[in-house]
Structure formats: structure tokens, C-alpha cells
Structure 1
Amino acid sequence: MKLGVYNAILHDRPLPEALKVIADLGLTGIEINTGGFLPATHVPTMDDILVSDTARDDFLGIFEGTGVTIAGLNCNGNPLHPKPEIGDKHAEDIRRSIRLAQRLGQNRVVTMSGLPGGEPGATVTNWVVNAWNSAALDVLDYQWGIAADFWRETDRLAADHGVKVALELHPQNIVFNTADVHKLIDLTGATHVGVELDASHLFWQQMDPVAVVRELGPLIFQAAAKDVRVNTANAALYGVLDNSFRRLTPDENRTNLGGDEWANEWPKNSAWDFVALGRGHDTAYWTEFLRALHDVDPNLLVNIEHEDTSLGRIEGLQVAAQVLKDADAALTESLNPIA
């Protein structure tokens, strides 16, 4: 497998330093953020790269001799948000990322399916998680119509540029499980839209990432290595959809998600947490995860996403990289046993 790091956790340093961190971890790929919720910190010359061969070649030259290559682009955001300052911007970021991928010789862009409002004229998103009543299905019908139009058009753009768009199955998106993936493909006839298999969001939904890989097969275009630990005592009391988040104030360190929307503080007594690989599921599990991905594509890009707040930036990457490399070595050994 091709193992790397999603670069958001390394936005605190210049690209050359980030590449050295990844190389020192014994990994070979960097998935680069190119817009959406986060700025394209490591591609400051994006506008120039899109039109100038010299700018493109200068950027690609940064990677020469580092042992690290680009392992896809990432543009996570909400392209269907009803507020134009968020939805329209994130949608354009996706289109720019597709064009940028072709310019850089890449064929993968990771993003999210997005989530509209619940009705015409809405200004906030509406995530239906349990459509037991007819009104909720009305909302979903409206949202799926918007999603299908956008992704049908985006699929054509991706196909024209030889790029596959991989959707993360993330909460507060219209597509967050296997049934939704099949529905989107059925509605759009998409050939260049599929899935970024991030196991973490499947764990807390009580889905089995290995089973999901087997189900989706060739619809999986890329993967993220991120773990989840379920805190069973808290989950028993609050469930996995607990909303005990705290709103951060303007004078606190907070992440802007577009417009006037911000990430909140994670619940103190959380039902589950994002953790580094191995802190929720052991190496043996990740070996089987890689095995399932290998059966889909032996050259699939698998990139660590570090969001374990109990570990520092480098420490968390070191923990995750060791587990991922050990799992990959175990997989390789099992595929090529010594006679």
C-alpha cells in the first residue's frame, strides 16, 4: 500500500519542513489541503499553478529528493451549504482542486458530499438522521435533488480532467453510509465520484469498515487512517449522537468553517473520541483493514489523519505511523509467506 499523511496537522510549518516530518516517519505520501474548511496553506501559488507551467514546475520541484510525493488533494467542505459565502465558495474550491489535480499529475481529490438546508430559502443546514416521519422524508427528497444536480455536474468535470473525487462518509453530510453512496451513484450515474474510506466515522456509527470496504469495492478511491475510541460508560448514558458541545467565543482559538460558522469544543465527557491508530483498534485490526483495501487496489493511497487531541502533532503522527507501518508489514508478510 502507499502510506502517507494528510497535511492539515502540519499546517503549522512550511511545506519543506512538513515533507521532512513525513519522510522521517518512514512514509512516502502527503495529501495536500486545497480549500474548503481549511486554507490551502501548502499551495500558496495555486492561482499561478493553474495557468503557469513554470509555477507548476517550481511547486513540484519542492518534492524532488524528499522521498515524499503528493498523495491526492483534499478539499473537505460543504459545497451544498445554503449560504452562498460557504456553499458557493466550497463548491468552487472543489472545481479548482479538480483542475489543480490534473495540473499536478494527480488523479484523486478528497472532499465531502455536502449538506443543503431543509427547504427552499433555508439559511442553515439540516441533517436528518432518523427519518421516521413523512416530513423528514420530504426534507431528504429536497436535499437529494440538490445533491444529485451538483454531483452529476461535478462528475462530468472530474471525468473531463481524469480525476476521481473521493467523498468522506462524514456526519452532517447527505452521504454518510453505504446506502447513501449507492443512492448517489444511482441518481447521478457518476463514474468519477466514489468514496474516501475513513474508518473513524464508521466506527462511531457502529459500522464495520472492513465490511464497508467489501461492500463498496471499486467505489473506494482513497482511504484515511484514523481511529476512534468509544468511551463505553459515557456512550451508555449519552449515546453516540450526544450534542454536549460548547460554543467557543471569539477570543478563544477556534476554527472557521466558512462565513460565520465555527467548530465547537468537543464534549468533556464524550461518548467517543478520535484517537491515533492503535488507541481504539489494535494493529491486527488495521492489518485486516489494509487487506480489504489491498483487495480493491494494491496501490490505494492510505493517509494518516491526526486528530487525537491528547497527543502532540508529531507524537500523534509517530504513534499512528508505527501502527500503520506494522499493519502494512504484517499484510505484506501474509501475502508473501516465506516457503
Structure 2
Amino acid sequence: MKLGVYNAILHDRPLPEALAVIADLGLTGIELNTGGFLPPVHVPNIDAILTSDTARDDYLGLFEGTGVSIAGLNCNGNPLHPNPLIGDAHAKDIRRSIALAQRLGQDRVVTMSGLPGGEPGATVPNWIVNAWNSAALDVLDHQWSIAVPFWTEIDQLAGDHGVKVALELHPQNLVFNTADVHKLIELTGATNVGVELDASHLFWQQMDPVAVVRALGPLVYQAAAKDVRINTENAALYGVLDNSFRRLSADEPRTNLGGDEWANEWPKNSAWDFVALGKGHDVDFWADFLSALHEVDPGMLVNIEHEDTELGRVEGLQVAATVLLEAEAKAGLTG
């Protein structure tokens, strides 16, 4: 098992400095962002790496002697977005990341299943939260008719490159739970598409990440170590599907998600928050989580994703790494 960090939180510094931070944490892997919602800050010369052996070897040389190696690529985005400025761009990033993974000696690419619009001619995605009415099922039928040919193509491309594509089970995507995973595999016949098991999004949906790992078994290709704290008083009033987000204006710091879409400000009185490991679930849970992943694949890549706004970039990684390493030891997976 290889424990590391998803590098987005370290995009504020050059790659060599990011590798030093990770090594100081006692971790050995870095999951590199290669497009999608975020720019590939630490892989700025993707096109050169794809075409030049010298550029590839020079890039890989940056990792030599650091104690940290690449632990998968990540291009989370919405490749099924009905706006081609977003959907086509994110789909291109997935295809390019698959080719890049092969060039870098990697066999895992993390992304999301995507979410189409709700009907032909739609311009924005439509997430069906609860399909209690027939019209909602019509929307889902339309969305699956778009998703199936796309993921059939990607599965073939991944197979041709010796790569496995791991889909994060992220709400606001067509595939966000165990049933959806099995449906995608059944409809596409995919053998190179599976799951990146990010526990955080399962927590707030009241799913059990350990049970999901064991239910999906070999379909789990990679994992993210990220925690969630349920703020029970707010959750009791608003529920976990609360939409009290604030639109950020153009003169405020904000993250572009493609085209003219931007991340919103998190609710002030949130029902739940992303937190560093240990602030939502204790070491015992994370030991069970690592054990379940190890049962699936002893070489599983598990990378910390830090989105705890109460902690600084490195501070949050330090808190999470301490818990993750303690959990590894408690699960008897060290040495």
C-alpha cells in the first residue's frame, strides 16, 4: 500500500517544494492533477512529455532521490457537460491523461463519471437527487444514453494504454453510489473502468465506506483519504442537501470550473464540512478503511485530499498524515 497526497493543495508552490513537503510528512506518493476542473500546475509540459522521450525522462528525473513517486494522475471534471466549452475540454483531458499515464509508467487515472443535461438541447447539467416521478426517470434514461457510449470508448482507450480509470463517487455526477457503479459496468461491459473510493462523499450521504469497499471489491482501483464532520445541529434543521451557497463575484477569489462556471462559497451554517482525517472519524475507522482496501489490493494507492478550511495547507496535511500513518500501523500494514 502506498500512502501519499493529492497535489492540488500544494499548487501554491513548485513541484520540488511540494515533494519535500510530502516527504517530510513521512508519505511516499503524489497524485498529480493533469486537467479537468484544475490546471495541471505540476505537469506544465504534458504535450512535450507525450511526444519527447527527453522531456519525459527530464520530468521523471524531478522525483529521483526525493523519496516520493507518482501515485496516479487526477483529472476530475465533467466530461459529459452539455456545454462543449466544458464537456469537450474535460473529456480531452481524460484522454490525454490516459496517454500521459502510460508515458509516465502509471496505470491509474482518477476522474468523475460526469453529468449531462436533462434533455436534448440542454445547456447545464441536471442532477436527479430522488427520481420519485416518471419525468425524473426520463431524464436519467437520457443521461445514461449519453454516458454509456462515452465510457465504452474511454474503457477501450484505457485498455489500449494499460490504464485503469477510477471514478470518484461524487454527487452531482451520474455515478455516485454502488448501484450506479454496477449499472455503468453492466451497460458498458467495461473492464478498465472502476472506482476511486473517496470516503468523504460517502460519509455525508450516510454510506459506509468500508462496506462499499467490500461490496465493490476489485472495482476499487484507488482511494482518497478525506474526512467529513456532520454538524448535527445544522443538519437537523437543513439536512445534508442544503443549498445555502453564495455566488462569488468576479472581484472575489474564486475557482473556475470551466467555461463561465465557478465554485460557490460554502454555506456559513453548514450541515457538514470537509475536515482533516480524525476530525470526523477516528483512527480506528481509518484503520478499518485501510484494511478493507488492502484486502482488495495490497498495492492500493491511498492519497490524502486536504480541503479543511479551518487548517492551513501544510498544517492540514500534517494532521491528516499523522492519523493516516497511525491507522496504517494499527491495521498492521507497516513493514
Name the residue aligned to 1:194.
194
Q: Secondary structure at the match of 2:331?
A: helix
Q: State the one-letter code of the partner of 1:12.
A: D
Name the residue aligned to 1:145.
145
Deviation at residue 14 of structure 1 after TM alignment: 0.3
- 1:200-236 deviation line (CA, Å, top 9, x unaligned): 0000000000000010000000000000000000000
Identity among equivalent positions (%) equals 82
Q: Where do 1:111-150 residues align within 5 Å?
A: 111-150=111-150
Q: Secondary structure at the match of 2:115?
A: coil
Give the whole-Å Cα distance in 1 for the aligned partners of 2:183 and 2:146: 13
Give the whole-Å Cα distance in 2 for the aligned partners of 1:5 and 1:212: 22
Give the whole-Å Cα distance in 2 for the aligned partners of 1:266 and 1:272: 10
Give the whole-Å Cα distance in 2 for the aligned partners of 1:52 and 1:22: 28
Give the whole-Å Cα distance in 2 for the aligned partners of 1:258 and 1:17: 28
Name the residue aligned to 1:315.
315
Name the residue aligned to 2:95.
95
Give the whole-Å Cα distance in 2 for the aligned partners of 1:145 and 1:174: 11
Deviation at residue 82 of structure 1 after TM alignment: 0.2
Q: Where do 1:43-58 residues align within 5 Å?
A: 43-58=43-58
Deviation at residue 169 of structure 1 after TM alignment: 0.3
In the alignment, structure 1 segments of 5+ residues that lack a partner are none
Pair 1:263-2:263 in alignment: yes
Deviation at residue 332 of structure 1 after TM alignment: 1.5
Name the residue aligned to 1:78.
78
Give the whole-Å Cα distance in 2 for the aligned partners of 1:144 and 1:233: 37
Deviation at residue 247 of structure 1 after TM alignment: 0.2
Name the residue aligned to 1:303.
303
Q: State the one-letter code of the partner of 1:59.
A: Y
Give the whole-Å Cα distance in 1 for the aligned partners of 2:45 and 2:219: 32
Q: State the one-letter code of the partner of 2:184.
A: L
Q: State the one-letter code of the partner of 2:249.
A: T
Name the residue aligned to 2:33.
33
Pair 1:224-2:224 in alignment: yes
> How many residues are paired up?
335
- 1:145-202 deviation line (CA, Å, top 9, x unaligned): 1011100000000000000000000010000000000000000000000000000000
In the alignment, structure 2 segments of 5+ residues that lack a partner are none
Q: State the one-letter code of the partner of 1:124.
A: V
Q: Secondary structure at the match of 1:118?
A: coil
Q: Could you list the structure 1 runs, at least 4 aligned residues long, displaced by more than 3 angstroms after superposition.
A: none
Superposed CA RMSD: 0.8
Deviation at residue 118 of structure 1 after TM alignment: 0.3
Q: State the one-letter code of the partner of 2:331.
A: L
Give the whole-Å Cα distance in 2 for the aligned partners of 1:332 and 1:97: 34
Give the whole-Å Cα distance in 2 for the aligned partners of 1:213 and 1:221: 10
TM-score between the two structures when normalised by the length of structure 2: 0.99
Name the residue aligned to 2:9.
9
Q: State the one-letter code of the partner of 1:241.
A: L
Q: State the one-letter code of the partner of 1:179.
A: A
Q: State the one-letter code of the partner of 2:39.
A: P
Q: Where do 1:173-252 residues align within 5 Å?
A: 173-252=173-252
Q: Secondary structure at the match of 1:332?
A: coil
